[in-house]
Structure 1
């Protein structure tokens, strides 16, 4: 991509880059794939005369959606052969993202996992309509379907997501408070302290990608999750440390072993208890926690 600030095409693309990345990431759940989509979108945008485009933002979103949809169909097949649970690639986000409830929920691990259960077309339509408030006509042009078909897909996807999304999104303050209690319990390996902060129906998902040790299936229930954490910490050969962070707009811990990053543990909080734990250990998914990733819905 050219760094020439005088180039109108480059200026327009860079002006909307954070938005385009957010669109691609929410459709794919992978920062690496989203970056590839942006490169592909740039190549197509560079061949267009920006002066002939009435709405550059809409045009760029359309290009990015098409490229993301093509890639989504490919990665869907790849994820079916993934070893163990597949979790979205975590992003270290600026604290401001947590204060924007709409943006924070849209990139949360919990919602991103729900989006994984949609078909590629349903996911694209849902993201564009429900998250970015794109009109049905624009969505139709982006996904190659009629506006009436898009309305039907949007209704079906919305109903599917609403039945599975978290009941209530915790405020950033509540999330930080619960995270601190959970952090102390994890670092001490105290089973009782863990039980006090975990919801009875808490679910732990861990993603090692076949490279790092991780539970192959979700672990459900406070007692089972507490035993898993307490027992695992007791068997560690090294010093475990945790650092609070904002990941995907929500409360999370960066987990290190002897000073080396071991993984990212994102936490879902509802009613002052931890209801979801998402531990990403796959090294291939940890490249976007070294620096904050800018995200936007506009």
Structure 2
């Protein structure tokens, strides 16, 4: 192989970790791919002999690209739409691969991370998920190491304050969402309020359509109709339901459960988002039909 091929091969060895970092920070599979591609373009224009630690260099580049992308999105609505699994193309092993499989990278955590300021989010992801030292984080966010530590600490407190139910609590997630769906079917307004966080948000294909427990409860009829023709499912590892036509999924409803309350409901009927989602339906024969 020539020098370019060797460099490309070395880069590909780091791609799963870089994509996971970008995805955790940005919450968008396509934007994560864009950030990783930008890192490759910058690497291809750099003398490899000048890079002592390729993994560290690439991590720094991707982190800076992500920070710039977050700054560009500063005025856009916050929201995460049933994200694609970051480990779908990771086939390695070792601590980096194990980090990708951890509960901490679930959709519920992404929802929380996207309420943080960009620098806080990046500091938390780099340090707490990818074990990047604070002196390196400081260079990325343009702060001192002590300030970078404070950014991560503030983010950590926020995550701990609203720690989501993880994949290990799926039965509890199911129980809470079942209470909501049964209450919707029975028109039980008080039971709906009991299942919902006071600041619950409903999004349709990523766009917020209603916020607040009372407002969501008052418009719960669509969920009743959906629930009656749907199958329970895991959507990217979280509890949800799927409706189908001709053996193909046409609507996904994902629930984010924090503590004992539903904090977000995502309605997805965008074909691309459905195709990207990792679905596990309660009826295995049905799920294999697409």
Q: TM-score, normalised by structure 2?
A: 0.72
Q: Residue 174 of structure 2 aligns with which residue? A: 179
1:226 CA drift (Å): 6.5
Q: Residue 220 of structure 1 aligns with which residue? A: 213
Q: Is the 8 A contact 2:185 2:224 kept in 1?
A: no
Query: Is residue 61 from structure 1 mapped to residue 49 from structure 2 by the alignment?
Result: no
> What is the CA–CA distance in structure 2 between the aligned matches of 1:123 and 1:242, rounded to whole Å?
35
1:135 CA drift (Å): 0.3
- What root-mean-square deviation, in Å, do the aligned CA atoms of Structure 1 and Structure 2 show? 4.2
Per-residue CA deviation, residues 231-264 of structure 1 (Å, 9 max, x unaligned), is 215556x9832352251xx323352242442134
Per-residue CA deviation, residues 145-169 of structure 1 (Å, 9 max, x unaligned), is 3323323333333344443x22x64
Q: Residue 117 of structure 2 aligns with which residue? A: 119
Q: Residue 241 of structure 1 aligns with which residue? A: 230
1:228 CA drift (Å): 4.6
Q: 1:24 aligns with which of 22, 25, 37?
A: 22
Q: Is the 8 A contact 2:197 2:261 kept in 1?
A: no
> What is the CA–CA distance in structure 2 between the aligned matches of 1:184 and 1:148, rounded to whole Å?
46
Classify the secondary structure of the residue corresponding to 2:209: coil
Q: Residue 43 of structure 1 aligns with which residue? A: 41
1:116 CA drift (Å): 2.0
Classify the secondary structure of the residue corresponding to 2:143: coil
- Classify 1:266/1:138 alpha carbon distance in 2 versus 1 (closer, same or farther; 3 Å): same
Q: Residue 203 of structure 2 aligns with which residue? A: 207
Classify the secondary structure of the residue corresponding to 1:118: coil
Q: 2:242 aligns with which of 251, 255, 262?
A: 255
Classify the secondary structure of the residue corresponding to 1:117: coil
1:60 CA drift (Å): 0.9
1:24 CA drift (Å): 0.8
Q: 1:275 aligns with which of 245, 262, 267?
A: 262
Classify the secondary structure of the residue corresponding to 2:39: helix
Q: Which runs of 5+ in 2 are unaligned?
A: 91-97, 281-290
1:130 CA drift (Å): 1.9
Q: TM-score, normalised by structure 1?
A: 0.70
Q: Which runs of 5+ in 1 are unaligned?
A: 293-298
1:43 CA drift (Å): 0.4
- Classify 1:5/1:235 alpha carbon distance in 2 versus 1 (closer, same or farther; 3 Å): farther
1:30 CA drift (Å): 1.3
- Classify 1:72/1:91 alpha carbon distance in 2 versus 1 (closer, same or farther; 3 Å): same
Q: Is the 8 A contact 1:263 1:280 kept in 2?
A: yes
1:287 CA drift (Å): 4.8
1:191 CA drift (Å): 3.6
> What is the CA–CA distance in structure 2 between the aligned matches of 1:8 and 1:60, rounded to whole Å?
16
Q: 2:139 aligns with which of 141, 144, 152?
A: 141
- Classify 1:189/1:217 alpha carbon distance in 2 versus 1 (closer, same or farther; 3 Å): closer
Per-residue CA deviation, residues 179-237 of structure 1 (Å, 9 max, x unaligned), is 378469849964499959x7464764322258xxx76232427xx767754x215556x
Number of corresponding residues? 268
